[in-house]
Structure 1
Amino acid sequence: MSQSEPQDVVNSKGSVVQNADEAASIVLNQALSAAAQGTFAVGGAIVENATGRVIHKLHNNVLKKLLRTDSDTNNVFTYDPTAHGETQLVYWYYENKTKFNLPEPEELTIITTLDPCVMCTGALLTAGFNVGVIAIDDYAGINWDEDFNFQTLPESLRDLAKSKFGYYASENKDGGPSEYVRSYKGSPNVALRNTSISVQRLMGCDSIFRAGLESVRADSYDAGPDADKNLLDPYYLPEESLIKVKYREIYPDAFKVKISNPRLPGEELFQILKKVKESEPKAQNSVALLDQFGNVILCLADTDESPVHTAFMNVTQNYAIIRFELTKMYVNDPKKVEAPNKYLTYPKYGTFVFLYAPSPNSTKAIMTLGAYGSTLEGKVPKIFPANFQYYYPPHEGTIKELRSVIMHLPPFYNEFAPISIMQVAGDFT
């Protein structure tokens, strides 16, 4: 599924930025559009290093409005927890690289209003983009403590990040607060690195994000009923139910298999995961999502559309986007579909089961861990066994190393959305 809003690429005769402040103005406008939409106020753009050409720009789309055809309601709902500005730009790039004959990622810089989160950092490093950052996120940003040494990443990835990330200098040209003044730090490969942004632009990127953060988080965490709120089991819906039909368009066996205890998945799910992985010749992994009733909603493998189309990303994106479309359909015409919020709830009440645990020293693992944190939609209930499980240890590295990586992630991933991973109980070969 597409991860970005449809926009035309800017051709070689289109918008060109001469300095970092001009680029900051463009991405700040995107952040303002995100705020107006009711989602996290972050914006970004792909800029060609050699020319300053703005190839594409967009904003965060985690939340979108559920617009009725017969009213002016502006209520928002989770569209895709991974639809952060930077990650969407990576997906857009791979969707359009051939069509527009785009340069390689190493020749481009993704400029963003806010320091990328763990997921976006993993996606950017996996793809190979340079990254130009304006404001700091002191809770979920990869450089939350502003040491610029990437202590939040495994040691094996820190030099790679240092070679890709840059934090623009800011100048106090018009009497802004001096505490926002800083010199450039980071890679020599970032576009417009020898120019600066104004303190006012930096403050704008920072303040627009913080202004609506709590209300947006509250809306994001209201994307489904709690597990104990009389949720109905979708397994017993008729076969023609749109809930079943839409998920089966992605995974033909959706809601056909019921695991007796979703926290103890066992042999049956193990065989399903192996079969799904084997169906994609280049896949390294497969991931299943079980709801609290034990229904296998989705089970998907890595796909070869791009390096960032990993099994977990495919599962969490498709679950959320289909849920959003069903909810939007219900809001506009309740006769078309059963009320999704009676059957589909927060992923945190289900169980994500990996065939292989993420490899701790890979950029894809960083993306996966961050995406899992974003998927939780609020604090995870303290349930044992955990809702992040795996059958096999990582292809490379150890579980001990993976747990160490998790421990060193920014505060958001240990305080607000703590990540707990455990092996499925049993012996599987």
Structure 2
Amino acid sequence: MLANVSVPASHRQVRTAIPGPISSALQQRRSRAVSAAVTSTLPVYITSADGGLLHDVDGNTYIDFGSGIAVTNVGHAAPAVVDRVKDQVERFTHTCFMIAPYEGYVEVCEALADLTPGDQEKRSALFNSGAEAVENAVKVARAATGRQAVVVFDHAYHGRTNLTMALTSKSVPYKHGFGPFAPEIYRVSGSYPFRDGLTGPESAAQALDRIDKQIGADQVAAVVIEPVQGEGGFIEPAPGFLPALSQWCTRNGVVFIADEVQTGFGRTGDWFACEYEGVVPDVIVTAKGIAAGLPLAAVTGRADLLDAVPPGGLGGTYGGNPVACAAALGSIETIRDQKLVVAARRIGTIALPRLRALPTDTIGHVRGRGAMLAVEFVKPGTREPDAELVRRIAKTCHDAGVVVLTCGTYGNVIRLLPPLSLPAELLDEGLTVLADAIRTAV
């Protein structure tokens, strides 16, 4: 089947119904070949992407406020990424670092030691996905401490493997029917200012009291937390919450693991979200934005922790693939050269006031840092989540050529994750479409 072969538009353009006829035909092929368990936000098929725009097979062009779920922070097909990947592919695509190593893996680990919070001596190990990295971070903590218990939080999302499903809070669609899950996982309340009304220290005291009473600090190997919770609703903890947890971990010999899979690499206006309050995690987990779309993830942490695992205890056939490492080095180069951390802050400075100015009593809370932004919707006059309204808003945006994502434990949050390199005019246009969609839907 041939896609539309005309030159892609350099602006938002909707030429057909969504989906168009070619995408609809591809949907039929998909239904016969792809598991129904794998879903997609948009029923359209992409042929190319550039400059914050996605181009589909029917000639429609969308403003991308999703970035492949915070992956293409540097934009689509960033030149430094493309050049490094092409060079690496021409030389070799795989040897397995555990068999015959190569410099790119070492370079990525050196860059992570330099970029991640703290000046302590660090080590890294590379993997394929965020879930795999989280799972290995827990392995590191258990090996280093000799303890088993792992503490996680309400509204958390950490992945879809067996252990990370246990760490994840939301049942449907991530856990329902997939048990039994890994043992020794304990969940406590976190900080959700819009819904709990507590200060950061109050939320932390509540969580730590429960840990002390129900688990015992001397049994806890690790506390695992997203500095800004992603899939759970882009929940930004109240000030003081993360520092209090980190300090408790230090006092009790517990490994503080920051899951920065979605927040890392400039997304929140810092290289890593932990930096916002000066928190230095013992171990930090990264993926998504690290390699601009190629599968790569990392566990980075104190040298004594990462070296506590016996030789051969960490690894994997594809972990730190040379092509993915090349992409990561190109992505890091682009973030630095284009000052995309500053660009992320600029996106937040522009978007947050516009979102907060929307005159509707269905918006419960607008929040976010940098280019990680969220609008939580409720039924008028209440804090009752309104997931159906969010579905209507998202569909209206999609039909108008703007890709927005939804999230939240209650399914009532619109999340915005534009590329950090998104041109100002596309940001403005996309926000206008979203505002119009909200006014239409309510």
- Verify same fold: TM over 0.5: no
TM-score range, shorter chain: under 0.3
Greater relative contact order (CA < 8 Å, ≥ 6 in sequence): 2
TM-score (ref. length: structure 2): 0.26
